[in-house]
Amino acid sequence: MSPSATMKRKNGVALWRQIADRIRGEIAAGDHDETGMLPPEMTLAQKFGVNRHTVRSAIAALASEGILEPMQGRGTIIARKERLSFPISLRTRFTAGIGDQVKEMEALLLSHITEPANADLAARLQLPLGTPLIRLETLRKADTRPVSRSTTWFPADRFAGIGEAYQKSGSITAAFKMLGVADYVRISTVISASHADTRDLADLELSPGAILLITQALNADMDGVPVQYAISRFSADTVEFTVEN
Amino acid sequence: MSPSATMKRKNGVALWRQIADRIRGEIAAGDHDETGMLPPEMTLAQKFGVNRHTVRSAIAALASEGILEPMQGRGTIIARKERLSFPISLRTRFTAGIGDQVKEMEALLLSHITEPANADLAARLQLPLGTPLIRLETLRKADTRPVSRSTTWFPADRFAGIGEAYQKSGSITAAFKMLGVADYVRISTVISASHADTRDLADLELSPGAILLITQALNADMDGVPVQYAISRFSADTVEFTVEN
DNA sequence: AGCTATTTGTCCGTATGTATT
DNA sequence: TAATACATACGGACAAATAGC
């Protein structure tokens, strides 16, 4: 069957791509500012003269860009975003870093186990292979909205009970203090970006296609001895990082 | 018609999501390492007992995660990735930073115009509103593969001719030197992540759904006077950033 | 509270286009 | 040229969530 009376494929560009571009343009032009919502899929399909599924392809693409948020039964809302700015420095501290940008911070301990260091972890923490490590899985929220999910490893012999200390205080800094580390510094941070997997979507309450900023951070005490290695996954819609020199 | 004999929707999880998870698991388990390719869509559809479109939904999701690369007429290849590590420090230099990780670096000047500073740029560069700025659009490649696309602004009165200097030398550092700035430092860097737009896809030769790491960087001379503000867009599959303290 | 209409989500089937082998 | 395999678009049916009466 012929595609459409009003739109056709032009120079190899798929119909749904053309429609995505037009919708993106409409939003940028402020056409839907009154409602803050996109018209129903059927309406758009008629307007562009295509099948509903073709419109859905376009909406899915824009949703994965974070521009739209389709909600079953309600409609498709147009996303507005403002990011938390998270400073990375010698004394990177989660709570202190973004504390003034939100009203309330929350830290949840999801799990808490001891495991032997594999080759990668052993090298990073400068410990012999197989050294027991405490692994914490934590979730951080700002104003009830999930911001990051972290996996953190500590040398188990030196920091026995850090899971409980963290759960009580809700802060790594406070937990360290209880265990005799008065101060610590960020040695290195590796920043990358990736798509969210199923687990991220659930924990961070994201929609499929969301993207993450990922940090791999190594902290050491004031003698330069590694005390903590952490991989944190942040919703890229929610945060950005700042490096001041 | 009933969905499938072999797979059905479980607790509200869509079939294509379940299949995506299974394929992701197969890849992680190394099931397709011999060929480096996924079996044809029809084969997968039969294997999972679903319609070909359902498999396509799963593949599309994994493709947007960068795990798969479907190629029309050929098949669906399984992506392997290794990233260039890009250091961010007081003396962040593009070429020197990743120079030892690649054989050949290339810098292209895409465009070169003068425009007045808007409110945002004026504030960042600490100049009066409307001050003329030179704007350069550049594309950087490593071993012929595009790595980043940048928009860079310089005060026009102080750095007249920097476009030509950059084009000749292929380096900001060299261009600054020609214009009397022997040294400069990175004041601040803001790092965020976003989806690639149409322009990014073309310039950086990415596939739709690709994600970017974006830096907003401010450089100043040794007197602390801002000399350059740049927004750079990096393919997140290609690079990561490192911050050493 | 309950029913109905609206709206998005999922899945199937079919046909045709386009790129590669 | 022919076969293969992914890409696009259409159509239909039903499920699930929400909103409104």
Q: Which domains does chain B have, with CATH numbers?
A: 10-76 (1.10.10.10), 82-241 (3.40.1410.10)
Nearest to A236 by CA among B187, B239, B211: B211
Tell me the sheet residues that pair with B137: B111, B151
User: Which among A242, A213, A218, A206 has a CA at the least distance from the CA of A79?
Assistant: A206
Q: Residue B174's Cα: distance from chain center in Å?
A: 24
Helix (H) or strand (E) holding B53: helix B52-64
Give the whole-angstrom CA distance, residue B218 versus residue B92: 11
Q: Whole-angstrom Cα distance, residue B82 to residue B77?
A: 16
Q: Looking at strand D, which nucleotides approach a protein CB closer than 7 A?
A: 3-12, 15-19
pLDDT exceeds 70 at position B167: yes
* CB-neighbour burial class of residue A189 (10 A; exposed 0-12, middle 13-18, buried 19+): buried
- The predicted structure's pLDDT at residue B21: 84
A240 versus A11: the higher-pLDDT residue is A240
Q: At what angle do helices A41-48 and A15-28 cross, to 10 degrees?
A: 110
- Is A183 an interface residue toward B (CB < 8 Å)? no
Pick the closest to residue B225 from B163, B180, B192 (CA basis).
B180
pLDDT in tens, B201-235: 788 888 777 889 999 999 999 999 999 999 999 99
| pLDDT more than 90, % of chain B | 53
Contact A194/B66, CB-based, under 8 Å? yes
Give the pLDDT score at B245. Answer: 83
Mean pLDDT along residues A42-57? 93
Torsional sign, CA A159, A160, A164, A168: negative
Give the span between the Cα atoms of A15 and A2, in whole angstroms.
12
**Does the structure show a pLDDT above 90 at A2?**
no
Q: Which of A8-17, A154-163, B145-154 has the lowest mean pLDDT?
A: A8-17
Name which of A121-130, A143-152, B4-13 the model is least confident about: B4-13
- What integer pLDDT is reported at residue A174 of this predicted model? 92
CB neighbours (10 Å) of residue A12? 6
User: For residue A83, what are its two tokens?
Assistant: 């990011």
| Mean local confidence (pLDDT), B152-160 | 95
Mean pLDDT of A220-238: 94
CA distance B153 to B131: 11
> Residue B111's pLDDT is what?
93
Which one of B51, B238, B243 makes the best mutation probe of the A interface by having the most chain A beta carbons within 10 Å? B243
Question: With contact defined as beta carbons under 8 Å apart, do B15 and B50 qualify?
Answer: yes
- The string of DSSP letters for A126-177 reads T--TT-EEEEEEEEEEETTEEEEEEEEEEETTTTTTHHHHHHHHS-HHHHHH
Check residue B7 and give its pLDDT.
Answer: 53
Angle subtended by helix axes B41-48 and B15-28, to nearest 10: 110
Is the CB atom of residue B10 positioned under 7 angstroms from any atom of strand C?
Answer: no
For residues A133 and A112, give the distance between their C-alpha atoms in angstroms, rounded to a whole number. Answer: 11
Note the pLDDT of residue A40.
95
Cα torsion B194, A110, A131, A156: sign: positive
**Mean pLDDT for the stretch of residues A225-241:** 94
Q: B228, B121 in Cβ contact below 8 A?
A: no
Would you list the DSSP string of B58-89?
Answer: HHHHHHHTTSEEEETTTEEEEP----EEEEES
pLDDT at site B203: 87
A225-228, Cβ contacts within 8 angstroms, sequence gap of 24 or more: A225/A126, A226/A124, A226/A125, A226/A126, A226/A127, A226/A155, A226/A187, A227/A154, A227/A155, A227/A158, A227/A159, A227/A176, A227/A181, A227/A184, A228/A152, A228/A153, A228/A154, A228/A172, A228/A184
| Cβ-contact A36, A77 below 8 angstroms | yes
Question: For residue B14, what pLDDT is reported?
Answer: 81
Give contacts of A212 with chain B, Cβ < 8 Å.
193
- Among protein residues, the one whose C-alpha sits closest to the C1' atom of D6 is B72
Instruction: Name the closest residue (CA) to the C1' of nucleotide C16.
Output: A1
Which of A111, A162, A115, A117 has the alpha carbon at shortest distance from A137?
A: A111
Task: Look at residue A130 and tell me whether its pLDDT is greater than 60.
Answer: yes
Q: What is the pLDDT averaged over residues A201-215?
A: 83
Residue nearest to nucleotide C17 (CA to C1'): A12
Residue B229 has, within 13 A of its CA and on its CB side, a CA count of: 19
E-strand ranges in chain B read 37-38, 68-71, 75-78, 84-88, 105-116, 132-142, 145-155, 184-195, 211-221, 226-235, 239-244
Contacts of B93 in chain A (CB under 8 A): none
Determine if strand D comes within 7 Å of the CB of A86.
Answer: no
Q: Is the pLDDT of residue B42 over 70?
A: yes
Confidence bin at A3 (pLDDT 50/70/90): very low
**pLDDT tens profile B103-125:** 778 889 999 999 999 999 999 99
Q: Give the 3-state secondary structure of residue A235.
A: strand
CB of A74 lies under 7 Å from some atom of strand D: yes
Q: Look up residue B10 and give its DSSP letter.
A: B
**C-beta of residue B140 within 8 angstroms of C-beta of residue B106:** yes
Residue whose C-alpha is closest to residue B239's, from A156, A193, A94: A193
Q: Is the pLDDT of residue B8 over 50?
A: yes
CB within 8 Å: B190 and A242: yes
Bridging pattern class, strands A239-244 and B184-195: antiparallel
The tokens for A32 are 């839907």
Confidence band of A178 (pLDDT split at 50, 70, 90): very high
Strand-pair category, B68-71 with B75-78: antiparallel
Determine the pLDDT at residue B12. 59
Largest CA distance in chain A: 74
